[in-house]
Amino acid sequence: MPPRGRPTTPEARALARGVAGRLRALEEGAVRTLAAARELAALDASLAAELVGALVDLAAEGDPSAVAAVGRALDGDHVPYEQRAAMYQAAAGRGMGEVTALLLAPPPHLAWEAPRDKPDARLARLTLGHKKSLARTHRDPDLLARLAAEGDPPVVRELLRNPRLTEAFAVRLAARRPCRPETLRCLFEDRRWRLRPRVAAALAHNPYAETEVSLKLLPSLPRRDLAGLAADGAVHALVRAAASRLLELREEEEP
């Protein structure tokens, strides 16, 4: 767990709430990422580092959209190198381990690539509509596993509605690597499965899951899973930092 350093100042928290509000008003994706980069580039490096720390706090408290956009901005070349270097120096001087880890580490979440092996011969003959119908109603666990392995999001959405689907199956799907991020988002968006602790933990640990999805799951996880995420080098540095901060916040609330 990275050292926390001095607590986030009230000024930085107020700034973070304002930035988070502005970013939430924008479309998720490239538009929000570029806006986050502009917010960081416009600030003094020391204040920008504090802003990132305060946004990690907001993520730990259940508001991860802004820090996810900041993470995407810092992962690429959206923020000038000089600003990133100055932010690192400022964060290191304040002992803000969660910020220096983010600035130093390459994005550990993995990009999904289409498999090069041959498609499932049994499923290749089926139309999308037929696959969706089978996913929603079929009893054969082997066929359901084949449909899940394909990972086609429209089919997976129907599969998750199948009343015969077990929690163990959903956990395996949440932990599947490699996996389309869109497929994992289907699990996150399904309330029936998202609220299952084992499914939520498997999703949060999956490096193919979108960073924002993992961040949104953190408040629902028990301390054991948070501690595991804080030490998991496969997930994004933001997820590790937010898990560490949430552990600290829970410890502060304990008598």
Instruction: Give the pLDDT confidence of 23-57 residue by residue, as tens digits.
Output: 999 988 889 999 999 999 999 999 999 999 999 88
Instruction: Give the pLDDT confidence of 171-188 residue by residue, as tens digits.
Output: 999 999 888 889 999 999
Listing DSSP states for 86-130 in one string gives: HHHHHHHHTT-HHHHHHHHS---SPPP----SPPPHHHHTS-HHH
With 0.75 as the threshold, say if the pTM is over it: no
Low-confidence residues of the chain, pLDDT below 70? 1-7, 105-121, 253-255
Can you state the percent helix, strand and coil of the chain, rounding each to 5? 65, 0, 35
Distance, in Å, from the CA atom of 158 to the CA atom of 242, rounded to the nearest integer, reads 32
Q: What is the pLDDT of residue 3?
A: 43
